[in-house]
């Protein structure tokens, strides 16, 4: 009996030992997996979404270098369309998970986000002085007197033109400075006649030129409130449409159907002028064989009261989302884009981006003469024009209205009366946006 007990204890000791060993074997698997799931209150790393590695992402990287704060900035590249759809899905579901701290939004879309999800954005009035920025940038980036966006680049427009072609037709820089669109069309006809070159390349699906025209007169597709469709009785818009049709009828428009064809139209030397935002400069300079053949004049204006020879096309601003780390993000933006003049000089030199921070325009880099454009002080000129850009409220529905207008434009070109076209567009837009 005694021995039996002894054996039993042996057995149980053995079993115990075996279990211990087995348990030790299998316990390596766990652990190590429980590290995530801890979103710190105030992360050391802030993330930013932007879309152009050569432009706005490069600008953020430059900002990161000039910033002294102890913050790690992680810039993530996303296509602009993706940013828009991600923001829409994320913000409309009410969850801020996976959202960045800083996001770049095009000015013409900004209001739709700010008005739809005001809670999702963090006002940055405490971090910047809005008056330091070009006034036209403030309307689209603010809401209810709160500044949400930090104005980044300007879309200030200019009339890029081939000096050689225009000279051939007998025009100089002076003849193109501070002209109206009517004068532009006349010049275009002369150019076409003498050189055989088209004056301009346009994508019939994109009414960018119309927008440039109407903003120079301080008008938009919507009224000053930004909410009511303003087509019928919109005098600048009417003038713009008339000018557009006049260009078509003058037969100096080269049609393009996408961006690459647009670029090709001037890189190949097929068109004489490119009225566009200043950002097109980089694409023009890409064709090195045309160095010295280009110059930039102020954008033509509509022939009406209050119209100026300055407008805007495109341009975007940074927004801080209301997620943990927002203060750090706002601080980062405030101390770089918000007040650092040095940094703006770097931005011009390294990235070629013209900011809308007015104190920076006195800097040295802004005075640089551009050899490609025949020694013109391009950036200085642009920053001068920036100050003249009339401020407009883009409202929330720029692109939806434009689709309707593009269709009506076709009808108008085919002979529909402008009154009818506008009336139809107004009705359709109101129906659609209600």
Partner 1 sequence: MKKLISVIHHNNLFIKMFLVMVISIISVSLLITFSTIRMSNNLFMETFSITNTKVLNQIKQQFESFSYSVVVTSMEVENNATIKRMLTEEYVSSVDASTSFYSIKEQMEKLYADRPNEANMIILGENERLFNMKYMNWSVTGDDLINHRITKNAEEHPNQILYQFVSGGEITNGSPMVVATKALTERSSNNIYGYLYIPIRELDLRGFYDDYTSQGNSVMLVNGSGKIISSDDESYIGQDSPELLALAKETEEQRLEYQEANVFGKDQLLLTSALPALDLYIVNLVDQELVINNLVNTKEIALISTVIVLLALVVVFIISRRVTNSISRLVKQISNMAKYDFSKPVEESGGYEARKIAHAFNYMLNELQEHVDVLMKAQRKQRKSELEALQHQINPHFLYNTLTSVKLLVKDGKKEAAFETIDALIPLLQNALGNVDETITVEQEAANIQNYVLINQTRYGDRIKVNSLISPDCLHYHLPKLVIQPFIENAFFHAFTEKKKGFIQILIAQRNDKLVCEVIDTGDGMRLDKIESKGKRQLFSGIGVRNVHERIQLLFGEDYGVEISSELKKGTKVKIILPLLDENAKYITKSKNSTKERLSEGGNF
Residues that bind partner 1 (CB under 8 A): 3, 10, 14, 17-18, 21-22, 25-26, 79, 81, 198, 202-205, 247-261, 264, 406-407, 410, 413-414
In the bound complex, what is the minimum distance in angstroms from residue 305's beta carbon to partner 1?
30
Collapsed DSSP state (helix, strand, coil) of residue 270: coil
**End-to-end Cα distance, the chain:** 95
- The dihedral built from the CA positions of residue 157, 163, 168 and 172, taken in this order, carries a sign that is positive
Would you mind telling me the total number of residues written for the chain in this entry? 434
In the bound complex, what is the minimum distance in angstroms from residue 255's beta carbon to partner 1?
4
Please, what is the Cα angle at 244 between 397 and 239, to 5 degrees? 75
In the bound complex, what is the minimum distance in angstroms from residue 270's beta carbon to partner 1?
12
In the bound complex, what is the minimum distance in angstroms from residue 409's beta carbon to partner 1?
8
Nearer to partner 1, 251 or 420 (CB): 251
C-alpha distances out from residue 189 to 170, 223, 250, 251, 272, Å:
12, 34, 6, 8, 11
Nearer to partner 1, 134 or 263 (CB): 263
Q: How many CA atoms lie within 13 A of 125 on its CB side?
A: 7
Nearer to partner 1, 209 or 308 (CB): 209
Residue 185's contacts (CB-CB under 8 Å, 6 or more residues apart) are: 243, 246, 247, 250
Q: How far apart, in whole angstroms, are the C-alpha atoms of residue 90 and residue 243?
A: 42
In the bound complex, what is the minimum distance in angstroms from residue 264's beta carbon to partner 1?
6
Nearer to partner 1, 255 or 282 (CB): 255
Nearer to partner 1, 120 or 421 (CB): 421
In the bound complex, what is the minimum distance in angstroms from residue 147's beta carbon to partner 1?
32
Using DSSP, how many helices (H) and how many strands (E) does the chain show?
17, 12
Structure tokens at 365: 């880099």
Structure tokens at 5: 């007990």
Is the separation of the CB atoms in 283 and 267 below 8 Å?
yes
CB neighbour burial string for 216-244, b if at least 16 within 10 angstroms, e if fewer: bbbbbbbeeebeebbbbebebbbbbbbbb
In the bound complex, what is the minimum distance in angstroms from residue 82's beta carbon to partner 1?
10
For 53, list phi and psi in degrees, rounded to 5.
-60, -30
Nearer to partner 1, 252 or 366 (CB): 252
In the bound complex, what is the minimum distance in angstroms from residue 15's beta carbon to partner 1?
10
Nearer to partner 1, 139 or 248 (CB): 248
Nearer to partner 1, 75 or 185 (CB): 185
């Amino acid at each position: 009996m005694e021995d039996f007990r002894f054996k039993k204890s042996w057995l149980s000791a053995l079993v115990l030992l075996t279990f211990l060993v087995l348990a030790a074997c299998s316990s390596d698997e766990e652990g190590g997996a429980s590290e995530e799931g801890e979103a710190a209150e105030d992360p050391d790393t802030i993330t930013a979404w932007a879309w152009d590695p050569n432009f706005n992402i490069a600008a953020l990287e430059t900002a990161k270098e000039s910033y002294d704060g102890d913050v790690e900035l992680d810039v993530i590249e996303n296509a602009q369309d993706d940013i828009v759809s991600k923001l829409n899905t994320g913000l409309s579901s009410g969850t801020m998970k996976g959202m960045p701290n800083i996001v770049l939004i095009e000015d013409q879309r900004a209001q739709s986000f700010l008005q739809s999800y005001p809670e999702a954005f963090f006002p940055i009035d405490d971090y910047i002085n809005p008056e330091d920025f070009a006034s036209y940038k403030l309307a689209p980036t603010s809401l209810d007197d709160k500044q949400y966006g930090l104005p980044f680049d300007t879309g200030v427009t200019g009339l890029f033109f081939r000096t050689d072609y225009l000279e051939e037709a007998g025009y100089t820089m002076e003849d193109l400075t501070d002209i109206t669109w009517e004068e532009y069309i006349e010049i275009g006809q002369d150019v076409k006649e003498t050189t055989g070159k088209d004056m301009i390349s346009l994508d019939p699906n994109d009414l960018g030129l119309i927008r440039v025209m109407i903003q120079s007169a301080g008008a938009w597709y919507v009224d000053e409130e930004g909410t009511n469709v303003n087509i019928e009785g919109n005098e600048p818009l009417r003038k713009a449409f008339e000018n557009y049709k006049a260009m078509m009828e003058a037969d100096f428009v080269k049609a393009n159907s996408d961006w690459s064809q647009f670029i090709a139209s001037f890189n190949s030397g097929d068109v004489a002028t490119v009225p566009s935002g200043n950002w097109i400069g980089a694409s023009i300079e890409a064709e090195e064989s045309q160095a010295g053949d280009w110059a930039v004049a102020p954008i033509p204006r509509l022939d009406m009261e209050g119209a100026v020879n300055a407008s805007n096309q495109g341009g975007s601003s940074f927004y801080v989302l209301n997620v943990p780390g927002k203060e750090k993000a706002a601080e980062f933006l405030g101390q770089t884009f918000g007040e650092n003049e040095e940094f703006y000089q770097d931005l011009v030199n390294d990235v070629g981006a013209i900011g809308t921070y007015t104190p920076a325009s006195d800097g040295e880099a802004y005075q640089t003469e551009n050899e490609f454009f025949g020694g013109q002080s391009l950036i200085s000129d642009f920053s001068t024009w920036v100050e003249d850009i009339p401020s407009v409220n883009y409202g929330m529905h720029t692109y939806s209205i434009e689709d309707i207008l593009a269709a009506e434009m076709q009808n108008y070109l085919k002979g529909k009366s402008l009154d009818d076209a506008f009336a139809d567009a107004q009705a359709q837009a109101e129906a659609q946006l209600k």
